[in-house]
Chains A and B, each alone.
Chain A
Amino acid sequence: MKRFDIVSLESPNRAPLRIEGFLFGEENTEGPSIAIVGAMSGDHINQLYVASGLVEYLRIKEEEGKISGRILVIPAVNAYALNMGEKNWPLDKTDLNMMFPGYAQGETTQRIASRLFETLKGYDYGIILEGRRDQGMCLPYVKLIQSGYEDLECVKDLGMGFIHYRPHEPVETAMLQYNWQLWETKAFSIVFGKNGSIDQNDTDQVHTAIVRFLSKRDILDFHVFEGHKSNILDPNRITIVKASRAGIFISKVRCGTAIKKGEVVGVIMDALSGKKLEKMLSPCEGIVTCQYAHPLIFQNSIAFRIASVELCCQIDAKRE
């Protein structure tokens, strides 16, 4: 294992920002290469945990002679934010994952992104461990955006239950996944957990999926059990349950729960009087993939996203 600084940036008063990388396998190996990027935001603790867990796991596997490719793990991109409970770059609040491919002569976070991206270019595969961009939590899923260079087949080797495969939004053209794909790395994101926390079950699932991917792609010489045959989702297969009222939100289900149409999934209470304002019913049969994760909910917020059996059947029937 080689531990090294990918970026070192002096601060006016703090100790320098260091983005550290952990490299496994022979540098000049002919085997496939992969880079795994952990916490880009200061609240991506699940992602930090999975990445640092992988470093320790791969260190042992390397000692056992099991690594046949080249693996780079970067557990924390934004250590400055992690160390002070901030989400974004602490000075100007810019999101590092909105700065790619970076610009070497630009603003501070553009320079950080540029230096990081220089290191990430050229890998065969790229995994970005992402948290959610809202106040939700979700069943771990793969996010694969359509840039024209994405590779859906390789993503299936993770064996995860759901792959969210959809066109990219304008804002995503400044994100790592899109740019990494444009530079011909088979890049995708794994989105999981609730920001600011560690979910042992979710992080275990993601760890296992990554190990499975490494094994199936001949990067790691290690037997793994088969995972799921992935369901490919897009926004048209998801039903949304919104909060018609604001207040205290009590969820009655967990992400991953299979639910029936009409089943109670959540309750909203008036935060002052305690009166029950809304009983939220599932409009369809399906699986809860995401849910709102803060105890106080805003009116019209999305409380649940449900992978709908009915919508999937309709879309698949049309295709046939």
Chain B
Amino acid sequence: MGLIEEVITIELPVGESFRIQRCRYAPKKEEGIKRISIVSGIHGDELEGQYVCFLLGQWLRNNPDKIRGIIDIYPAINSLGIDSITRSIPFYDVDLNRIFPGSKNDFLPAQIADGVVNIMKGSDFAIDIHSSNVFLREIPQVRIAKSQEEILVPLANLLNIDFVWVHDAVTVLESTFAHAMNTIGTKTLVVEMGVGMRLGKAYGHQLLDGLLNLMAHEGILDIEPLAVRMPIQSHVGEVAYLNAACPGLFVPAIEHCQVIEKGSVVGHIVSALSGEVMDEVIAPISGMLFTIRAYPIVYEGSLLGRIFGKTNGDSQ
């Protein structure tokens, strides 16, 4: 059984404390061993990671003799947000994942960020589990800034995910948890999967296998590596974005994670008022629909989906 601790505690104004809890699993001898942090709930409306934390905790409770490193599970970083369906830090309405590494001398969300970095400092690895947002449904994927590609892609390939997306770094992403941790030497992967405010059991079990496999490879668990899937690598193709051409109600025509042909219909934008079909959303390339809109109300520009296709337009 893991050791449950409150690692960050900050008094709230009226008879309560904000807290971040950790469940630590460790072997009896802790010297010279590796440490991994499993992180979920930086955004309060993303719950897939909570289920993964449960599954991992359950596995570790059943297999204490296999533990060879320190495994820290943080299911709810933005604990106020998770218990109130609030993506940002409530009261301040600030996205926690845009203020890392934070500061002791700034407002409360920045102090939380600073505290989070400090308690996880020294981890060899961190897995930051997100579930997109309430608008989009994603297949299990890891997103990596190009500057970190060499170090992180081999690690991501162990995680039993479907897709590794290496992207050009945007300066604003320097304010994320992952960037802050990678900067101080903790190899940190960002997992995106599922959709906000919901959990998908299959994805949870898929990532659990990936986490066990990664920990087996790194000597944190004394088990045989698992047979995991090799993710599609973004560098072999291109990502096409489907943005709404007009406002309305988006009605998908196909399921998530389908392989589709260029020119096929992804969905329609319709008017609930007039009964008209306002736009037909067409796939601009052949490939895998790895993102699809889950929340149907759209404005012009709203993201409806993403397709990953080989550069020559062939499907995967």
Interface residues of A (CB under 8 A from B): 9-13, 87-88, 91-93, 98, 105-111, 133-136, 169-171, 173-174, 240, 242, 245-248, 271-272, 296-302
Contact = CB atoms under 8 A, between A and B. Distances in A.
Given A9-B299, A12-B297, A107-B301, A271 B13 contact: yes
Contacts of B273: 13
* Nearest 7 pairs of A and B residues by beta carbon: A299-B11, A246-B11, A296-B13, A170-B174, A108-B301, A134-B107, A173-B171
B192 to A, nearest CB: 16
B304 to A, nearest CB: 11
Interface in B164-200: 171-175
A70 B78 CA distance: 47
Q: How large is the interface on B (under 10, 10 to 19, 20 to 34, 35 or more residues)?
A: 35 or more
Given A247-B13, A271-B13, A296-B13, A135 B92 contact: yes
Given A134-B107, A135-B107, A271-B13, A171 B301 contact: no
B243 A298 contact: no
A126 B10 CA distance: 40
Interface of B: 10-15, 18, 87-88, 91-94, 98-99, 105-108, 111, 133, 135, 171-175, 241, 243, 246-249, 272-273, 297-303
Nearest to B174: A170
Contacts of A246: 10-13
Contacts of A171: 98-99, 172, 175
A247 B172 CA distance: 34
Most A CB atoms within 10 A — which of B94, B107, B174?
B107
Contact of A302 (B14, B106, B272, B298): B106
A10 B244 CA distance: 12
B300 A9 contact: yes
A92 B272 CA distance: 21
23 contacts: A9-B299, A9-B300, A10-B247, A10-B300, A12-B249, A91-B299, A92-B133, A93-B87, A105-B241, A106-B301, A108-B301, A111-B301, A170-B171, A173-B171, A272-B15, A296-B14, A297-B13, A298-B11, A298-B108, A299-B10, A300-B108, A300-B111, A301-B108
B15 to A, nearest CB: 5
Given A13-B272, A108-B300, A300-B108, 19 more contacts: A9-B299, A9-B300, A10-B300, A11-B247, A13-B273, A88-B93, A98-B172, A109-B301, A111-B300, A133-B94, A134-B107, A135-B91, A174-B171, A271-B13, A271-B15, A298-B11, A298-B18, A301-B108, A302-B107
Contacts of B272: 12-13
A162 to B, nearest CB: 18
A109 B300 CA distance: 9
